[in-house]
Amino acid sequence: MVMSPEEIQAELTQLVKTKLRYDGPLDEGELADTLDSVQRLTLVVAIEDHFRICFDPDDEQQIRDLNDLLRMIGRKLEEA
């Protein structure tokens, strides 16, 4: 499944709103500054379920900000 970064971001924004009940902006900063650890874990599970991908344990260390997350989702979708 190939999706543009814009399509991935739109779906990710919707997931954040519905699964985390978070209406704040997902900005370019570090996700750790925006979301607490429970929110991040909930988001990872929601992303895996929604996009039907699976993150490896090492993937988390590569994701620091929104752009990293979008790239990682895109890469996982291409691999699927």
Cα–Cα distance measured from residue 25 to residue 58, given in angstroms and rounded to the nearest whole number: 26
What pTM does this model have? 0.85
pLDDT in single tens digits along all 80 residues of the chain? 678 989 999 999 899 899 988 887 777 677 777 788 898 889 999 999 999 999 998 888 888 888 899 999 999 999 88
CB < 8 Å & 24+ apart, contacts of 68-73? 69/12, 69/31, 70/5, 70/8, 70/9, 70/12, 71/5, 73/8, 73/12, 73/47
**Domain tally, the chain:** 1
Q: Which domain holds residue 15?
A: 5-79
CATH code, domain with 54: 1.10.1200.10
